[in-house]
Each structure stands twice: as C-alpha cells, then as structure tokens.
Structure 1
Amino acid sequence: MLAPSGQMAKLDLVHKKLLNEWKKDAKRNIQLIGDILKEAKEGMNDMACLNELNQDALFIIHRDVFEIDAMYALLCEDFERFNEAITVVLNFYNSYHNAVPSPNKYLMIGLDLMYLLATNRLSEFHMLLEQLEQSVQKSNPYITTPVNLEQSLMEGVYSKVVLTEGTIPSPFYSIFIRILKDTVRGDIATCIEAAFKRLSVKDAAQMLFFTKVDDVIPFAKQRKWRTVNGVYVFDDERPVEFVRGQHLIDHSEKPKARLDTERIAKQNIFYAKQLEMIV
C-alpha cells in the first residue's frame, strides 16, 4: 500500500518496495509499479527525504528509479514516456561517468539504439553508437543486436529481422522487433501492390515473412486486398499509399538519414519477379 498524501514514506523504503515488485518479472503488477514510481519521484524531489540518506544511497536510488521508469514505459508501450525516460537515464550516466557502471548500462543504451532504429532516427543512432568502444560494439549482445539489425535492414536481408526475434538479449527488445517487422511488411506490401497483378496467398505469406500462410490473411484484410480462389488480385487503378511505421513517434523535425526500405523492398520484389519469369 502506498503512503497516504502528506505522509511521504521514507525514500529508501519506497525504493525497496519498487525493487521487490520489479523483480517479480512476469508477475509484476504494472499499475502498482507506476504508482510506486510516482511516489519515488516525489520523494526524490523532497529535500526532507533526501537529507535522510547519504550520497551513495541516493545515487543507487536515482539510478534504479530512472532505469525502471524507462523499462516501465516500454511495458506500457508509451514511446513518448520512454523517449523522455531513456534521455534521463543516459544523462545520469554521463553525469556520474566516474561512478561504478550500472549493471544495466548496456541494456539501457541498447534499448535506446533499438528505439532510434525503430523510429528511423539513424543520425542519432550512429552518434550514440560512436560513443561506445569498438570492443563493446562487436561483443556486447545488447549492442550487437541493434547494430546487426540496422545492417540487415540496410542490405534488405529482412529474414534476419524476423529471425532476430528468437535471439533477442532481453524481452524489452521484442516491442522494437515487432515495430521493425511491421514497418518492413508495410513497405514490402506496398511494393507488392505496385508490382503484381496477381499473387497467391502462399507466395504473399512467404514474401512478407509470415511463418504460417494463415497469418497473412488478417494482414491482407487490413490492407483491403481482394482474394479470388486463393489468389490476391490487385487493381491497377487502385491508389497506392506508402505507409511507413504509422504508429511510431518521431520527435525530431530535423533532416536525418533514413533507411530506404521502400527502395530495398522494390528491389527484392524485382528479383522475385525475375525468378518468376525464369521459372
């Protein structure tokens, strides 16, 4: 039970309560965690609470609250909150760069890299990556995952994006993998609509990297694809809309490097059509 208004619980007790609930993993009470985070932040802004603790204790409490707040935002699929929270985390790390590194340091940096990749903010992605040592970039799984994903997307090897979901270093990466898969499938689907007059449901499922043929059906319905005897028929007159990551949040209005997934998808479709003609 949280402390009543006006009776702020001691910050160290709130911190312990937060850690205890967070350690429950799949059994976490998300609403309770949100409430405890709110209480912890109030305590972190209360001088009376802060004066009760030494600097080492305050450092650990702030670090844990900031990190959990970022991961909590992902559990809630609140990308705006995550963007703010992860910025606070990384600024905190930079402010205390001489302190003992957090056990979650590379997880946090990796999550930010995944977020920047999923929102197509590649300039910021590479700026953050350049701050890391080469050995970390090449060996730390939290970092190599977004690095390899970006390489796969740049090369158009979309199958690796799909396969990455089974080898992610943290469950918190899964939401970004889903976003990237949705973006890639949207790009490929747009190119299919422009390149084909007819395409079997089976071939469509394969080209869109669905493991089961049935999985392509709701996707096709969402895009209003017409099916006749197990074949998708595309009307030449239908307007083609290019939808890229429509549920993502792009907080930067500045010009930035972008993954040209439309071009790559068109290239892949072209190769597929060439193979179709050969067969």
Structure 2
Amino acid sequence: MAEHEAKQIASKLESLKGPQLQQAPQLLARAKLALLHLNALVPSEETHKNHLQLATVILEQGALISIRLKDTESFTRYYQQLQPFYAIEGSHWQRPRAQSNQSKITGLYLLLLLSVGDYAGFHTVLEGLEMSAGRETMEKNPFLQYPVRLEQALMEGSYDKVWGETKGERVPSEEFAVFSEVLINTIRSEIASCSERAYPSLPISNAKNLLFLDSEGAVVQFANARGWVAREGRIYFPQQEEEALAAERDVMSASGMVISNTLGYARKLETIV
C-alpha cells in the first residue's frame, strides 16, 4: 500500500507545472510518510533496492521542485538527505545513468554555494567529487562544469564572463537559471558598493553597462532601491557627496584655524615691536 502510494505521488510530482507546483510540498510530505512506512526514508543495506530507488527519485524531485519554487533552504535539506542514498548507490543498488539527477543536483548545490559566497564549501564539495568520480568524468559533465566555469571567472574578476555564462544557451537547465540570477544580483550588488566608494557620480549609460542591466530605466529603478539619486542623465551617490561636503567643511575649518592663528601671531609681533 505504501509503495503504491509513493509511486503514484512520484508520478504526479513529475507532471506538475507552473501554478501546480504549489501542490508539491503537501505531496512530498505524503510521499515521505509512505517512504517512512517502507523503512526507506533513511537508506541502509537492509532496505529493498526498489524502495531505495523510489526514495531517491522522490527526494530528487523534491530538490528540483524546491529550486523552481526558489526555496533554497528546502533544496539544501533535500541535497543533504540525498547524500546517503548516493553513497550507497553502486554498492547496494544501481539505476540507469539516464534516470539519475545526481550530477544536476550536485551542480545546483555548487552554484548555490557560489551565489552565497561560500567558496570554502564550494571547493570542499568539488574535491570530494574529484576523489569519487575523477577529474576526467567531471570535465565531461555539463552540470558540474557550469559552476566550475563561473567560479573561475569570479576568481579572475571577469564579471563579463560570468554575465555571458548566465545567458540562455549557456545555462544547462531551467533550474540553473534560478541560481544564476541570484549570482548576478550578488555581483551587481558588489559592483554597486565599489562604485559608491570610487565615484561621486556616473552617467546612466555607463552604469547600465557596469551593472549588467538591460535598460536605462532599470538603472534608475536600481538606483532608487539603493538610495542613489538619478538626475540629468547621471547617477549620484549620496555617500560620496556627503563625504565630499564633510571634507570641504574640514578644509574650511582648518583654513579658518590657520587664519586665526596667523592673525594671533601678528598681534603678538606688533606687541613685541
């Protein structure tokens, strides 16, 4: 009974699209309960191989649906739940490579680590993959090579390469586009912070290219969100203006003090004379 229900739910999860994805969390909760009754929610060598395969399929569906729902915390939990199943696969049971989403989910997790700036975690996962699968196998896998290329471009500071990699035909699947967008937003925020410190203002046309935005209207919208001022075709950074005014006030104050001291010395000289 539990096996039949888990198979039905797995089939339904696979067919969910668009607004129907909102049904997924409830369906996944039911599927996990069925797997629990089958003693397959946590894998062991005593678990029947058919149940192990069914559990892996359901958990992989949960991970991919979490990405489509932009629920990164849920995706991370599914990724962690899947690791014992991947570890036991091969020694206790085997499924056709075409049916496996392991490399896709691992690649997505690598991309998630990049998008939050966890480079140490990224390289830890990557080193584990090289030890288990081998460098040559990894280099042939598009799902694993995509985050590796992005990380290399980030380390080089080649943000234009990162931007190019996140464009349609370079993205290996629709799920990767979600984290690619998050990564670009992170990079855009870093560039914006550097620009605030480096320039008092920028032409909107230059800011559009610098921030990888599609239109000048998008630049104005981005500027407003960060508290910048857009006027007369330029973006002004209030922080820089405030610092410039403060520096000017300091100079004026220092100049006034010098003048005052000079006059004081002059009066003393007159008294002496």
TM range (shorter): 0.7 to 0.9
Match of 2:58 in 1: 65
- Cα 1:168–1:198 shift into 2, 3 Å: same
Q: Following TM superposition, by how much is the alpha carbon of 1:155 offset from its aligned partner in structure 2, in angstroms?
A: 0.7
Q: How far does residue 55 in structure 1 lie from its aligned partner after superposition? A: 1.4
Choose from 2, 9, 17 the match for 1:18.
9
Instruction: Could you tell me which runs of 5 or more consecutive residues in structure 2 were left unpaired when the two chains were aligned.
Output: 42-46, 244-273
Secondary structure at 1:210 match in 2: coil
Unmatched runs of 5 consecutive residues or more in structure 1: 1-9, 240-279
Q: Is the 8 A contact 1:90 1:109 kept in 2?
A: no
- Cα root mean square deviation, aligned: 2.3
The TM-score with structure 2 as length reference comes to 0.76
The 5 Å alignment of 1:187-226 reads 187-226=190-229
User: Greater relative contact order: 1 or 2 (C-alpha under 8 angstroms, separation 6 or more)?
Assistant: 1
Identity value in percent: 27
Give the match for residue 175 of structure 1: 178
User: Runs of at least 4 residues of structure 1 off by over 4 A?
Assistant: 47-50
User: How do residues 143-182 of structure 1 correspond to structure 2 at under 5 angstroms?
Assistant: 143-165=144-166, 166=168, 167-182=170-185
Name the amino acid aligned to 1:129. Answer: L
* Counterpart residue identity of residue 17, structure 2: A
Letter in 1 for 2:126: L
Please identify which structure carries the higher helix content: 2
* Match of residue 43, structure 1, among 20, 34, 43: 34
Q: Quote the Cα distance in structure 2 between the aligned partners of 1:49 and 1:120.
A: 34
Q: Distance in 2 between matches of 1:192 and 1:15?
A: 53
Q: Residues 1-279 of structure 1: matches in 2 within 5 Å?
A: 10-24=1-15, 26-27=17-18, 29-46=20-37, 55-98=48-91, 99-100=93-94, 103-132=100-129, 133-165=134-166, 166=168, 167-235=170-238, 236-238=240-242
**Equivalences, count:** 227
Q: Pick closer, same or farther for the CA change 1:12–1:238 going to 2, 3 Å.
A: farther
- Whichever residue aligns with residue 219 of structure 1, its letter is F
1:201 deviates by 0.6
Q: Match of 1:93, as an amino acid? A: Y
1: CA distance between counterparts of 2:176 and 2:159? 17
Indicate how the Cα distance of structure 1 residues 183 and 47 shifts in structure 2: closer, same or farther if over 3 A, else same: closer
TM superposition shift of 1:183: 0.7
Contact 1:21 1:29 in 2 (8 A): no
| Kept after mapping to 2: 8 A contact 1:22/1:28 | no
Q: Which stretch shows the higher mean deviation, 29-38 or 12-21?
A: 12-21
Whether the 8 Å CA contact 1:111–1:173 is kept in 2: the answer is: yes
Which of 1 and 2 has greater Rg?
A: 2
* Partner deviation per Cα, 1:220-274 (whole Å, 9 max, x = no partner): 11001112211112232548xxxxxxxxxxxxxxxxxxxxxxxxxxxxxxxxxxx
Q: Which residue of 2 aligns with 1:5?
A: none
Encode CA deviations 1:184-207: one digit per residue, 9 max, x unaligned.
Answer: 100101111111122111100011
